[in-house]
Amino acid sequence: AQTVTQSQPEMSVQEAETVTLSCTYDTSESNYYLFWYKQPPSRQMILVIRQEAYKQQNATENRFSVNFQKAAKSFSLKISDSQLGDTAMYFCAFTQETSGSRLTFGEGTQLTVNP
């Protein structure tokens, strides 16, 4: 069975600084996808970034980038130039290539951006 672990229940960062959220996962599959979702206080879960396991290049979306270490089964999210609107719960998630609908989520990291 696949598992996703986020070891940081809470983190805080000053506005404009950079923060990295950690995620590790366990799988025996070679083809899979990893995601970071953001859930702000409004509760609407939003996809932040996606990484395909077969791609060596780390995914980037504006201020959000990942550090994907396949051998270490590590998938961290870096947020640059943090903004107050980045305050949210962040979830790391995993799915096998063959089961797109079955997302396995981590427990989440509550990120607070301080002014």
Partner 1 sequence: ETGVTQTPRHLVMGMTNKKSLKCEQHLGHNAMYWYKQSAKKPLELMFVYNFKEQTENNSVPSRFSPECPNSSHLFLHLHTLQPEDSALYLCASSQTSSALEQFFGPGTRLTVL
Residues lying near partner 1 in the complex (CB under 8 A) are found at 4, 9, 33, 37, 42-47, 50, 91, 95, 99-108
Q: Cβ of residue 15: shortest distance to partner 1, in angstroms? A: 26
C-beta of 75 vs 91, nearer to partner 1: 91
Strand pairing report for 46-52 and 32-39:
antiparallel
C-beta of 20 vs 110, nearer to partner 1: 110
Q: Cβ of residue 47: shortest distance to partner 1, in angstroms? A: 6
33: phi then psi, degrees, rounded to nearest 5: -130, 145
- Tell me, what amino acid is at 29? E
70: phi then psi, degrees, rounded to nearest 5: -65, -40
